[in-house]
């Protein structure tokens, strides 16, 4: 349909605001038919990247391709094929939600009437209220309904659920899933990790304007540790000799430790030898991915790189 | 009431500069009337003659109030300033009450504070007391300034305290409106409607239906007759009505939940109408209120000028300075006066043109433009929509001014031919007005941060017009104002050259601004 394997391709993107470097050689490739998570702490450059991608900002250096074309030059034509929901939706105080949905739909070149009605109902949105009287969550619903009811190939969502309650968030996830299943593509920026874990096929993590990691969630799990608690028949021995074991605590027959996910197999083999009575393990979460990236360890590496380049 | 005292102190502190500005404005409104009347007429005979011609001008009476003792300075001050003074006090009260009650509730800050140990009535009471004190300040300063002029003490006090009482009345009605409505905007709308009704009732009453004037609080204020047989009892009416409104507001407050109004917010349409389509449809929807408001505003201003008719000579008086101001270019006094009026109306229209050209800036700084530009709407087209509304709106506003001026003149003189000749020249200022708006567009196109500098050229044009010769500003500086290059029609003959040159310049500057906008970062 699009004829492009990668609806979004960004490499070496640099954007400066005055003396501040907001993006410092960022790379991002999004594959057709996938939901791509775009993760990073506040101020790391997620929104700036999206705004360059949408042709609001001009790139200072690097290559940016949207559907294989230049988003700065071809902005309006390319926008016909996508819908964007900003993190902070601002509506016109004297236009109703329903009017805004129709306006944005018309500007995108048409709206699916049936889906519009269904979405308004599923999101429990009152379309007759004026923009000034909506809460943050309801303003986001207006933008989401407008985006999801349009006939587009790509959704660009910038922290789209930060004001939604859990029920509405699951409605949102359902629709985004269905959008992907019909062969379309989603770029979802977030710092809500559960959301990304729930939805995304691939993830890129950015920090200080650079991509520090990209891959499937499975690819990224090698960076994380699984935490394990076990109750055994005999006090365990030899765990401390295993590679990749951290924060080991042994209290008689009870033990708890963290293990690099890659070494999990060996650790469990040791535990089995002492007779397992109960075992709980927590899988790695993206929270931990973040901690690794923004904790003490990775930044020193990054600093080395910066120094190395100079 | 716990906490009311702390609130009151905070409010007074937050508002101190704003209150000072309102007080200075009100004092200037009254005091400047005394000064200008004093300067206009050299002899009492001349003053009597002017007064006699004003006394029978129904348009003036409808605008200002009952004509009493117009051949005295005090009478003139009362006549010219009291109705507008009451509106000024009313607006101040409305903004004070609104900003500390309804706006706080709407933003949710009020709820935050209510979590603390404060009384239910504390914020409202503090807002009420703030407004009462502010109006007292206004009245006392007006009275003192007039007494120092010097005018009679008792009458000055009557005029000043009547103003205070009017302000208290509108404080009460604003407080009621804050209980009824759920948004600050509709609260201002409702309070403004009360003021408009009070003004309109007395206008109709004063020109021939006296009973109606007695239904208006502004009518009660003017019935105190300062400087023409002062009487205090109509002031009591104001006091009682104000107290009743405040009591009603507290009673209503008890019947509603915090954050809501007694009148449910009116729901709007669930679907967009056909007109809300594309950049032009949206720009018109966003700006139409402003276009209509400005057009009506200049229409009424034009009416006021036009209603002077041919009595220009009497009103202006015989003093050479005032004749020089109006009889520019050596033409007759009437033509000179209307040439100046046309120019003033055109400068007024610049207020619309510049603010309308800056409207896209508001859209951008409020973060609404990105939602639009992320659709298939090209940048150029988005800005062009607003540009078209600005240009068409400017034409409408200038037309409004011309219609008002012509209609006012025709009503008084029954001479539509001359009315057209005197009022149509407003339209010749179109390219100059558009040039100022095009400069605003250029600044916005370059960067939204510098765009508000667009008001400076208007300030320059106003200064040059009123004080150019007085301050002996250098010619090159005066030439910077585009209005200086157009002939003072009808006192002088219309010239195509400067008209077309300014039009071409305005179009080029506007085009440059739109091109610059397409080349810069958004947000």
The CATH number given to whatever domain includes residue A25 is 3.40.50.300
Q: CA of A36, closest CA in chain B: separation in Å?
A: 19
A185 and A64: one domain? yes
A170 and A264: one domain? no
Rounded Cα gap, residues A106 and A86, in angstroms: 18
- Domain extent, residue A238, equals 225-283
Residues in B closer than 8 angstroms to A51, CB to CB, are 370, 522-523
B392 and B507: one domain? yes
Alpha-carbon distances of B374 from A56, A142, A220, A270, B465, rounded to whole Å? 8, 15, 32, 56, 45
Whether B163 is covered by a domain: the verdict is yes
The answer to whether the Cα torsion of A123, A125, A127, A133 is positive or negative is: negative
Rounded Cα gap, residues B191 and B117, in angstroms: 31
- Test A88 with B285 for CB contact under 8 angstroms: no
Rounded Cα gap, residues B414 and A241, in angstroms: 110
Whether the bond between B137 and the residue before it is cis, its omega within 30 degrees of 0, is no
Rounded Cα gap, residues A88 and A35, in angstroms: 21
Element at B502 (helix H, strand E): helix B496-518
Q: CA of B88, closest CA in chain A: separation in Å?
A: 27
Rounded Cα gap, residues A52 and A68, in angstroms: 15
A180 and A247: one domain? no
Find how far residue B247's CA is from the centre of its chain.
31
Residues in B closer than 8 angstroms to A73, CB to CB, are none
Q: Work out the number of other CB atoms within 10 angstroms of the CB of residue B422.
A: 27
pLDDT value of position A197: 79
Q: Which residue is it, tokens 């048409």?
A: A110
* In contact, A151 and A112? CB cutoff 8 Å: yes
Substitution target in A49, A53, A76 with the highest count of B β-carbons within 10 Å is A76
Among B380, B287, B273, B360, smallest CA distance to A106 is for B273
What value does the mean pLDDT take over residues B402-415?
92
Confidence of residue B79 (pLDDT cuts 50, 70, 90): very high
What value does the mean pLDDT take over residues A112-139?
91
- Test A79 with B376 for CB contact under 8 angstroms: yes
End-to-end CA distance of chain B: 45
Confidence of residue A29 (pLDDT cuts 50, 70, 90): very high
Structure confidence by residue, pLDDT tens digits, A84-104: 999 889 999 889 999 999 999
Residues in B closer than 8 angstroms to A79, CB to CB, are 373-377
Residue B443 predicted with pLDDT over 50: yes
What value does the mean pLDDT take over residues A112-121?
94
pLDDT value of position A217: 77
Of B183, B271, B374, the CB nearest to A98: B271
pLDDT value of position B41: 81
Whether A133 is covered by a domain: the verdict is yes
pLDDT value of position A3: 59
B61 and B198: one domain? yes
Rounded Cα gap, residues B112 and B465, in angstroms: 51
Task: Tell me if residue B302 falls in helix, strand or coil.
Answer: helix
Rounded Cα gap, residues B460 and B42, in angstroms: 32
pLDDT value of position B38: 83
Whether A130 is covered by a domain: the verdict is yes
pLDDT value of position A297: 44
Flag whether residue B282 sits within 8 Å of chain A, measured between CB atoms: yes
pLDDT value of position A223: 65
* In contact, A285 and A197? CB cutoff 8 Å: yes
B218 and B92: one domain? yes
Flag whether residue B270 sits within 8 Å of chain A, measured between CB atoms: yes
Of A57, A95, A99, the CB nearest to B521: A57
Whether A243 is covered by a domain: the verdict is yes
Give the end of a domain, one of A187, A216, A245: A216
Tokens of B241: 């009505």
pLDDT value of position B412: 86
The residues facing B410 across adjacent strands are: none
B405 and B295: one domain? yes
Whether B265 is covered by a domain: the verdict is no
Tokens of B347: 């400068």
Which of the residue ranges A191-195, A248-252, B194-198, B506-510 would you say has the lowest mean pLDDT? Answer: A191-195
Q: Regarding predicted confidence, which is higher, B474 or B329?
A: B474
Tell which phi-psi region holds residue A62, choosing left (phi > 0), alpha (psi between -120 and 50) or beta.
left
* In contact, A45 and A206? CB cutoff 8 Å: yes
Nearest CA in chain A to B365: A90
Q: Work out the number of other CB atoms within 10 angstroms of the CB of residue B107.
A: 11
A20 and A86: one domain? yes
Which residues make Cβ contacts (< 8 Å) with residue B303, sequence separation at least 6? Answer: B59, B404, B405, B407, B408
Whether A301 is covered by a domain: the verdict is no
* In contact, B73 and B221? CB cutoff 8 Å: no
Which of the residue ranges B119-123, B160-164, B264-268, B287-291 would you say has the lowest mean pLDDT? Answer: B264-268
- Domain extent, residue B364, equals 278-518
Among B298, B280, B445, smallest CA distance to B377 is for B280
pLDDT value of position A53: 95
Confidence of residue A305 (pLDDT cuts 50, 70, 90): very low
A265 and A124: one domain? no
A95 and A156: one domain? yes
Rounded Cα gap, residues B74 and B76, in angstroms: 5
Beta strand pairing status for A35-39 and A185-190? parallel
* In contact, B168 and B242? CB cutoff 8 Å: yes
Residue A145 predicted with pLDDT over 50: yes
Q: For every residue of chain A, which 3-state class applies, written as one string? A: CCCCCCCEEEEEEEEEECCEEEEEEEEEEECCCCEEEEECCCCCCHHHHHHHHCCCCCCCEEEEEECCECCCCCHHHHHCCEEEECCCCCCCCCCEHHHHHHHHHHHHCCECHHHHHHHHHHCCCCCCCEHHHCCHHHHHHHHHHHHHCECCCEEEEECCCCCCCHHHHHHHHHHHHHHHHCCCEEEEEECCHHHHHHHCCEEEEEECCEEEEEEEHHHHHHHCEEEEEEEECCCCCCHHHCCCEEEEEEECCEEEEEEEHHHHHHHHHHHHHCCEEEEEEECCCHHHHHHHHHCCHHHHHHHHHHHHHC
Q: Which residue is it, tokens 């973060």?
A: B367
What value does the mean pLDDT take over residues A261-283?
86
A40 and A179: one domain? yes
Confidence of residue A7 (pLDDT cuts 50, 70, 90): very high
The residues facing A202 across adjacent strands are: A36, A216
Flag whether residue B370 sits within 8 Å of chain A, measured between CB atoms: yes
Of B267, B368, B523, the CB nearest to A92: B368
**DSSP-derived secondary structure letter, B330:** G
Number of compact structural domains in chain B: 2
Find how far residue B426's CA is from the centre of its chain.
20
Structure confidence by residue, pLDDT tens digits, A220-236: 766 667 888 999 999 98
DSSP characters for B179-205? HH-SSHHHHHHHHHHHHHHHHHHHHHH
The answer to whether the Cα torsion of B378, B381, B383, B386 is positive or negative is: negative
Whether A300 is covered by a domain: the verdict is no
Nearest CA in chain A to B273: A99
Q: Work out the number of other CB atoms within 10 angstroms of the CB of residue B432.
A: 27
Rounded Cα gap, residues A175 and A123, in angstroms: 11
Of B269, B285, B522, the CB nearest to A56: B522
pLDDT value of position A285: 64
Rounded Cα gap, residues A246 and A240, in angstroms: 8
pLDDT value of position A306: 36
Of A51, A83, A128, the CB nearest to B268: A128
A177 and A85: one domain? yes
Nearest CA in chain A to B283: A92
What value does the mean pLDDT take over residues B471-475?
84
Find how far residue B59's CA is from the centre of its chain.
19
Q: Work out the number of other CB atoms within 10 angstroms of the CB of residue B141.
A: 18
Of B269, B272, B276, the CB nearest to A128: B269
A184 and A95: one domain? yes
A60 and A186: one domain? yes
Alpha-carbon distances of B360 from A57, A138, B367, B386, rounded to whole Å? 17, 25, 11, 7
CATH of the domain at A279: 3.30.70
Confidence of residue A289 (pLDDT cuts 50, 70, 90): low
Dihedral angle at the C-alpha atoms of B53, B54, B57, B63, nearest 10 degrees? 170
pLDDT value of position B325: 58
Residues in A closer than 8 angstroms to B267, CB to CB, are 96, 126, 128-129
pLDDT value of position A42: 79
pLDDT value of position B316: 61
**Packing angle between helix B455-467 and helix B430-446, nearest 10 degrees?**
150
B290 and B247: one domain? no
- Test A96 with B267 for CB contact under 8 angstroms: yes
Residues in B closer than 8 angstroms to A95, CB to CB, are 268, 276, 285
pLDDT value of position B334: 86
Residue B246 predicted with pLDDT over 70: yes
Whether B264 is covered by a domain: the verdict is no
What value does the mean pLDDT take over residues A211-216?
88
A117 and A90: one domain? yes
| Total CB pairs under 8 A between chain A and B | 111
pLDDT value of position A55: 93
* In contact, B178 and B101? CB cutoff 8 Å: yes
Side by side, which strands form the sheet with A82-85?
A82-85, A154-158, A185-190, A35-39, A202-207, A210-216
Residues in A closer than 8 angstroms to B277, CB to CB, are 103, 106
Number of compact structural domains in chain A: 2
B184 and B306: one domain? no
Rounded Cα gap, residues B199 and B217, in angstroms: 9
Among B233, B194, B223, smallest CA distance to B93 is for B194
Which residues make Cβ contacts (< 8 Å) with residue B148, sequence separation at least 6? Answer: none
Whether B477 is covered by a domain: the verdict is yes
B104 and B185: one domain? yes
pLDDT value of position A172: 93
pLDDT value of position A5: 86
A270 and A197: one domain? no
Q: CA of B453, closest CA in chain A: separation in Å?
A: 22
Q: Work out the number of other CB atoms within 10 angstroms of the CB of residue A241.
A: 8
Average pLDDT taken over every residue of chain B: 90
Substitution target in B269, B271, B275, B375 with the highest count of A β-carbons within 10 Å is B375
Residues in B closer than 8 angstroms to A91, CB to CB, are 368
Which residues make Cβ contacts (< 8 Å) with residue A242, sequence separation at least 6? Answer: A259, A263, A266, A267, A270
Substitution target in B188, B272, B385, B522 with the highest count of A β-carbons within 10 Å is B272
Q: Regarding predicted confidence, which is higher, A134 or B322?
A: A134
pLDDT value of position A310: 30
Nearest CA in chain B to A85: B371
Max mean pLDDT among A158-162, B61-65, B491-495 falls in: B491-495
Burial A174-197 (b: 16+ CB within 10 A, else e): ebbeebbeeebbbbbbbbbbebbe
What value does the mean pLDDT take over residues B199-223?
90
Question: B209 φ, ψ to 5°?
Answer: -125, 70
Of A56, A91, A95, the CB nearest to B373: A56
- Test B378 with A76 for CB contact under 8 angstroms: yes
Max mean pLDDT among A93-97, B55-59, B211-215, B241-245 falls in: B241-245
Flag whether residue B371 sits within 8 Å of chain A, measured between CB atoms: yes
Of A82, A90, A106, the CB nearest to B368: A90
pLDDT value of position A308: 33
What value does the mean pLDDT take over residues B322-335?
64
Residues in B closer than 8 angstroms to A76, CB to CB, are 376-379, 381
Whether B523 is covered by a domain: the verdict is no
pLDDT value of position A293: 61
pLDDT value of position B29: 92
- Test A99 with B521 for CB contact under 8 angstroms: no
* In contact, B217 and B241? CB cutoff 8 Å: yes
Of A54, A79, A92, the CB nearest to B286: A92
Of A101, A109, A126, the CB nearest to B376: A109
Is B325 buried (19+), middle (13-18) or exposed (0-12) by CB count in 10 A?
middle
Flag whether residue B108 sits within 8 Å of chain A, measured between CB atoms: no
Beta strand pairing status for A154-158 and A82-85? parallel
Q: What part of B 163-182 touches A (C-beta under 8 Å)? A: 182
pLDDT value of position B438: 98
pLDDT value of position A307: 35
Rounded Cα gap, residues A89 and A136, in angstroms: 8
Whether A81 is covered by a domain: the verdict is yes
Substitution target in A56, A81, A157 with the highest count of B β-carbons within 10 Å is A56
């Amino acid at each position: 349909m699009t004829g492009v394997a990668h609806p979004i391709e960004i490499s070496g993107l640099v954007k400066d605001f005055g003396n501040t470097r907001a993006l410092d050689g960022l790379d991002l490739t999004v594959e057709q038919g996938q939901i791509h998570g775009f993760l990073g702490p506040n101020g790391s450059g997620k929104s700036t990247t999206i705004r360059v991608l949408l042709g609001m900002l001009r790139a200072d250096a690097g290559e940016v391709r949207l559907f294989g074309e230049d988003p700065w030059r071809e902005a309006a034509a390319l926008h016909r094929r996508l819908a964007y929901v900003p993190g902070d939706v601002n509506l016109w105080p004297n236009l109703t939600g329903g009017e805004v949905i129709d306006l944005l739909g018309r500007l995108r070149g048409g709206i699916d009437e049936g889906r519009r009605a269904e979405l308004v109902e599923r999101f429990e949105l009152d379309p007759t209220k004026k923009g000034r009287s909506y809460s943050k969550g309801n303003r986001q619903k207006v933008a989401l309904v407008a985006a999801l009811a349009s006939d587009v190939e790509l959704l660009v969502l910038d922290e789209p659920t930060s004001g939604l309650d859990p029920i509405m968030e699951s409605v949102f996830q359902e629709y985004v899933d269905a959008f992907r299943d019909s062969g379309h593509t989603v770029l979802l920026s977030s710092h809500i990790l559960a959301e990304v874990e729930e939805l995304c096929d691939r993830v890129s993590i950015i920090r200080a304007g650079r991509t520090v990691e990209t891959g499937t969630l499975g690819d990224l799990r090698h960076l994380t540790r699984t935490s394990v608690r076990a109750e055994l028949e005999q006090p365990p021995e030899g765990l401390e000799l295993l590679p990749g074991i951290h924060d080991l605590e042994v209290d008689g027959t009870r033990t708890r430790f963290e293990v690099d996910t890659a070494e999990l197999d060996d650790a469990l083999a040791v535990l089995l030898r002492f007779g397992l009575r109960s075992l709980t393990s927590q899988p790695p979460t993206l929270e931990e991915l973040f901690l690794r990236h923004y904790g003490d360890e990775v930044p020193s590496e990054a600093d080395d790189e910066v120094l190395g380049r100079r | 009431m716990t906490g009311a005292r702390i609130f009151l102190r905070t409010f007074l502190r937050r508002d101190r500069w704003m209150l000072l500005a309102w007080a200075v404005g009100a004092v200037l409104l009254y005091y400047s009337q005394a000064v200008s009347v004093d300067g206009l007429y050299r002899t009492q005979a001349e003053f009597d003659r002017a007064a006699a011609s004003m006394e029978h001008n129904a348009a003036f009476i409808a605008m200002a109030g009952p004509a009493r003792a117009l051949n005295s300075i005090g009478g003139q001050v009362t006549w010219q300033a009291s109705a507008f003074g009451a509106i000024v006090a009313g607006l101040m009260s409305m903004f004070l009450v609104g900003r500390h009650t309804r706006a706080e509730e709407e933003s949710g800050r009020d709820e935050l504070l209510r979590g603390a140990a404060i009384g239910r009535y504390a914020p409202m009471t503090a807002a009420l007391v703030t407004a009462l004190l502010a109006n007292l300040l206004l009245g006392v300063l007006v009275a003192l300034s007039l007494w120092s002029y010097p005018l009679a003490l008792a009458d000055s006090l009557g005029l000043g305290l009547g103003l205070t009482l009017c302000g208290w009345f509108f404080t009460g009605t604003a407080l009621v409106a804050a209980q009824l409505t759920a948004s600050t905007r509709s609260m201002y709308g409702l309070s403004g409607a009360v003021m408009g009704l009070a003004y309109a009732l007395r206008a109709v009453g004063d020109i021939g239906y006296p009973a109606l004037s007695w239904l208006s609080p502004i009518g009660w204020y003017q019935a105190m007759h300062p400087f023409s047989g002062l009487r205090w009892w109509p002031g009591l009416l104001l006091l009682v009505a104000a107290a009743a409104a405040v009591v009603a507001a507290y009673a209503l407050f008890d019947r509603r939940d915090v954050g809501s109004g007694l009148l449910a917010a009116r729901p709007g349409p669930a679907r967009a109408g056909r007109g809300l389509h594309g950049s032009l449809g949206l720009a018109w929807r966003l700006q139409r209120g402003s276009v209509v408001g400005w057009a009506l505003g200049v229409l009424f201003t034009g009416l006021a000028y036009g209603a002077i008719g041919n009595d220009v000579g009497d009103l202006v008086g015989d003093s050479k300075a005032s004749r020089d101001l109006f009889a520019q270019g050596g033409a007759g006094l009437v033509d000179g006066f209307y040439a100046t009026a046309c120019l003033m109306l055109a400068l007024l229209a610049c207020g619309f043109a510049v603010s309308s050209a800056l409207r896209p800036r508001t859209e951008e700084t409020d973060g609404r433009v990105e939602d639009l530009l992320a659709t298939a709407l090209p940048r150029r087209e988005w800005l062009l929509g607003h540009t078209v509304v600005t240009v068409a709106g400017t034409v409408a506003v200038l037309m409004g001014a011309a219609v008002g001026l012509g209609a006012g003149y025709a009503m008084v003189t029954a001479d539509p031919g001359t009315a057209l000749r005197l009022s149509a020249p407003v339209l010749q200022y179109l390219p100059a007005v558009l040039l100022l708006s095009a400069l605003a567009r250029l600044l916005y196109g370059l960067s939204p941060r510098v765009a508000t500098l667009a008001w400076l050229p208007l300030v320059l044009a106003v200064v040059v017009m009123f004080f150019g010769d007085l301050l002996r500003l250098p010619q090159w500086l005066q030439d910077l104002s585009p209005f200086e290059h157009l002939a003072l029609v009808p006192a002088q003959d219309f010239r195509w050259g400067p008209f077309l040159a300014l039009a071409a310049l305005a179009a080029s500057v506007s085009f440059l601004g739109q091109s610059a906008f397409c080349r810069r970062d958004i947000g």
